[in-house]
Amino acid sequence: MVFFADDTSIIITYSYRRDLNNNANQMFQYINTWFNSSLLTLNFNKIKYLEFRTKNYYNFSTQIKYDQEFITNATEIKFLGLTINYILSWKQHIEQVINKMCSACYALRYIKRMVPVDTLRVIYFAHIHFIINYGIIFWGSTYYSNKVFKLQKKIVRIITNTRPRDSCREAFKNMEIMTLYCQ
């Protein structure tokens, strides 16, 4: 069980499909008892489950039911700011990262003429670098992450006035050197 703010996440593992429904129902009994004793209630309208599987997995109809209510089987969920889908491809999460980075890229291009380079670097590390780094340990080695790196290079080129065909290696090094001096 994982508690964060007002969200509760439960991981149930099973070896056989028939065990899933039994384990889930048993878990709901325990949780409901604990919530009731703590003067809390479960919102069954918001409860969803995500069944992880491989791409080649045959789609069997798994149905989890508690108190005559079927629980929705989601294909993706948002967990602590990370969008996770049932095959752990991270495609949806990376698309969201790219959308945020595109907005930041537009904003940087717009304000570039009005603020000094040091301010652009601060904005990069405070906002864009944070977006890229959050959860990168999970999604950073996937096929789709290459798009994030290409957009990051575009942003660094905007900040450092590097031409589109030039290598970004020195621009990245200069960005790092400037942050060392700022500390």
Q: pLDDT per residue over 127-137, tens digit each?
A: 888 899 898 89
Structure tokens at 164: 């589109």
Same domain assignment for residues 127 and 145: yes
Question: How many domains does one find in the chain?
Answer: 2
- Of the three residues 38, 57, 84, the one that is the final residue of a domain is 84
* Region for 90 from its dihedrals, namely left if φ exceeds 0, alpha if ψ lies in -120 to 50, beta otherwise: left
Same domain assignment for residues 158 and 106: yes
Per-residue pLDDT for the chain (183 aa), expressed as one digit of tens each? 777 777 778 887 777 767 777 777 788 888 888 888 988 887 778 888 888 877 776 666 677 777 777 788 888 888 888 899 888 889 999 999 999 999 999 999 989 889 998 888 888 888 888 899 898 899 988 888 889 988 988 888 888 887 878 787 777 777 765 544 444
Same domain assignment for residues 79 and 98: no
Same domain assignment for residues 117 and 33: no
Helix (H) or strand (E) holding 54: none
Same domain assignment for residues 56 and 117: no
Buried/exposed 55-93: b ≥16 CB within 10 Å, e otherwise: eeeeeeeeebebeeeeeeeeebeeeeeebbbbeebbbbb
**CA-closest candidate to residue 151, choices 135, 131, 134:** 131
Q: How far apart are CA 31 and CA 137, in angstroms?
A: 31
- Residue 127 sits in which domain range? 90-182
- Of the three residues 65, 84, 103, the one that is the final residue of a domain is 84
- Of the three residues 67, 84, 101, the one that is the final residue of a domain is 84
